[in-house]
Amino acid sequence: MSGIESFVQQLTTQVTEIAWSIFILAWAVGWALRGSPIPIFKVKRTGQDFIEDAIMAAFWLAIGATVFALVSYVAGQF
């Protein structure tokens, strides 16, 4: 693998790891807010929004990582 291919692959791996970490953090904060004993509906709704957004982010992150891996594999074959 050439230098630029290696750099792009390492950078993509690091960005993906950071993105998954943010997903886990948002998921945990969302469930903490949603399940909190605070009787304010707006806080619980914010927690639900965090959970919904985290699910969509995880979906697109998985799709993007898969597409990049496929493109990287095909480019490495030629």
Q: Is the dihedral of CA 36, 37, 43, 46 positive or negative?
A: positive
Band (pLDDT 50/70/90 cuts) for residue 6 is confident
* Residue-level pLDDT at 1: 56
* Residue-level pLDDT at 5: 74
Phi, psi for residue 35 in degrees, rounded to 5: -95, 5
Segment 44-77, tens digit of pLDDT = 898 899 999 999 999 998 898 888 888 877 877 7
Q: CA-CA distance, 72 to 78, in Å (whole number)?
A: 10
Segment 26-48, tens digit of pLDDT = 999 989 988 888 888 888 898 89
Q: CA-CA distance, 5 to 44, in Å (whole number)?
A: 45
Q: CA-CA distance, 34 to 28, in Å (whole number)?
A: 10
Alpha-helical (H) ranges within the chain are 3-34, 41-77
